[in-house]
Structure 1
Amino acid sequence: MKKVLVVEDEKLIRQGITAMIKRSGVPVEEVIECNNGIAAMDILAKEQIDVMFTDIRMPKMNGIELVQAMQELDNPPLAVAISGYDDFSYAVEMMRHGVREYILKPVERDKLKTILEKLDAEINHRIEDKEKLDALDNQLLKYMLRDKASTDDNTMLLAQTLTREVGEAYVVVVTEPVSNAHIHAGITLKAIMGCNVYILPADSLKQLQGIRYIGVSDVYSVVTDLKKAYEQAFNRRIEAFLQNMSVVDCDLPAVPEELIKTATKLTEENAISARVQMMGADKPKELKKEWDGFFIAAVRGQIPANDFLKTIDTFALKLEAVHKLKLSEELAHPLVTDCLDNYREGFMEFIFSKQQELCQILEVDQTALKINEAITFINENYASDLNMAVVSNHISMNYSLFSTEFKNVTGTNFITYVKDLRMGEAKRLLSDTDLKVNEISAKVGYDNEKHFMKSFKAYVGVSPSEFRKNALRG
């Protein structure tokens, strides 16, 4: 339990009871003391008290009068009478007025602990029962709002819930899911189509002050209109989002059909596919122009709400299929964000950062492809007069860039790579053929036999003739 009130005019007894409550082992967040019934009623009017211990004989307002008066409260506490032996008849009278237990003076620690444990269990059961009832009611409401058929019995239960929580007339309010709304009256339903839904008494709209970008339905009075009220509020929430309006509580003027038609091409599938393809091209200005046109048309009301949401959904699916990129939860479901301005900012930041990443990956891939093309060319032409200028020109790459990227891919520089190829082939020809050294020299790209012999000895450690002798011995 959270709060316990002790009402006793004798200070020492009051403090003693408070001490026993705190040491009872029953979890109590706060114990409040007062010395008469009038003071107790003031506290009960301001605080939500779970359990009240009250003496019977007190000045100004006695215990019986206090118990009778508190019955007028919306949620009176569980009451325990504290009585002397000669007050037993009063205790019985108080029991008739709803007092749950009584304790004889002097108060015994064990007796008080037993009563606290019993009342704490009752309070916890009440909370659990209320939570279960609220959960059931909320499930029924969500079921109905999600376009499900409702039985007569369910409709009757919902009608009872609505009447109990919001009275005879109500409105439906739809907000973003992370709204900082602090709404106390009515019913709160979370996570319906990515939004929070509030069903409120029609006269409690002052609670909405300070809450922005919301949709508010007209006033309704019967449960069968609940779905209509929700759809109205939901559509107005979308309008508040698209128009960056704090509150939309009525239908906005219709946009002329000819203006809507001029923006139709922005939501067509081929236009969406084009934006997806532009993500992989180094065309940031063109991509920005395309999306700016889409968002500006949405703000002007030229793109119907459902078409706007469908366009974002289609783009997300195509983006993942083509580029293996996923929109975040907030970007994939626009109504999670409060308004279009903020959504657009986050969306465009994502678009440009991912486009840059894709272009960098593409550039790296294209460079790697060119280097592989160069390696193939070298492997096929190393026997000719080959140098780095010839190869870099062959693949249309800057000379210095080619030198750097070639080493990044192969792990060695151009000259060493070509020498490895030529010497490897020379060793094979010396071992496997009877070709003369001058013939081998020409076959591996050396037009000067002496240069070949000098290079071979520096690379292998022995002359070509010595290498052939060693190979024959092996």
Structure 2
Amino acid sequence: MAYKVLIVEDEKEKARGIAYLVEKYNPECTPVLLAHDGREGYKKAAKEQPDIILTDIRMPVMDGLEMIRALRGVDFPAEFIVLSGYAEFSYAKKAIELGVRDFITKPVDEEELSKTLSKVCKEITERRATEDSLSKLNDDMRNYALRDFLTGGMDSQYKVGEYLKQMGVLEEYGQYTCMVMEGDEALSDFRIEEGLISQNGMFFYGVKTGNAQMAVVAGSKSMDIEEKKNLVRQFIIKEELDRLHIRIGIGSSYEEYTQLPKAYEEACVALNYRILKGSGTAILFEELYDMENRTDLLTEKETEQLKDRIDRFDQDGFHIAVKGIFNRALSENNLSLPELQKLSLNIVLLGLHNIPTAQLQMNGYFGKNLFTLKSIEKFKTMEQLENWIMNMVSSMNEVMLKDSIPKKKDVIVEAKEYIRQNYNQNITLNDISKQFYINPSYFSQLFKKKSGMTYQKYLTNYRVDRAKKLLAETELRIYEVCKLVGYSDVNHFNQIFERTEGMKPSEYRQKYAQDK
């Protein structure tokens, strides 16, 4: 590592002599910059940003202590070393008060100079490493809290609010939303960077939610549908969307950051429609709502009724509801065939909410028959339209239930084994549902029914059990145990452990040691 050094000495020959010694015995301290009074030293320091400043005390225009005081006044981060004659030690107290790192007596001894610089350089390296480590830890904690908050962890709401306040987001922006970006997992060059981006009056904070998926919290002064489309254009260019096969789902806009989990959920729903639009596209939740309600032929009550039948896999009930809708629509309206076709498409689209994209993509029937009005132009009668709807929804149910009904006992056994093998990773309900090609809602209900507890509770209990074993059988530090069992936030880990075991991890280790 190179360290930039500035020497401030009014006697130019002495300054050049000291610079020569620095370059000879401390080659890592280059380049060596020179200034010949305190004012010049202040200006050069502000411009060149040296890591270490060696300065004489008595100089014309502005002395060394005045220069140090001025630089400290603007929080200048350099380390200061004072070049001092024996008669000048009366200045030592003032220099110490200004945070001077060390003193070198004049005339300068080359060995003393070299040792002092080496020691200061080592301390700068150690400090920077500590700062980098703390910065990385803070980023990890912030990203964990944001992930937890977006996916329903209300315990993290306060932390996220504090982070947004620290970054000045809550004061600067009045509208918030969340978008979910997803790429092709098979793409080797797909990369997502976590962190903060602020540009063109907008705020973005991205956090990974999967191997090739990212949730991006966005803030702006205002955010209507058109402005959200611009938001996407600013965040990632169209060529990259196409090249990396990235799809983006965007939730509604809200005035309170506390509504971000809802925006995240809406973005995930919008992303489920990516097969409608193809790769390289952004899908807004508001536009989906308009698409699903293109006419007033489908009432809100009927929509909810259909969704309920689909969620419960009630094929007969769904068929009866569809017939009732067509009978009512025909009796109340003078409908054209195109309008009936649009109504049919709207009904079929309701079945998409619960189907993982991977299952849809693996089913060739859907690729040939779904998602375009052209695919239903061939139907000329009501009976044909009804049959088409029933066939499509029946195929959806088959995909949803494939391998899960006849083997649903094995699915939970396999899911538990998957948890045991991956408990130290960030595995969400959506991740494990995709692993077994099961709708998350259906998987959650099935897991609780077969296990007597929720998926999250089972995962937490297993992680705590592993933590207990590590605490009892190893000398690993608490934060090391925390990371090994899948948590990045030590405080969060401590809270979960105490809530589960009735004591802190440190107390458990102490108790175990006493009981041995």
Q: Is the shorter-chain TM-score for this pair beyond 0.5, marking a shared fold?
A: no
What TM bracket, shorter-length normalisation? 0.3 to 0.5
TM-score by length of 2: 0.42
* Structure ID, larger Rg: 1
TM-score by length of 1: 0.45
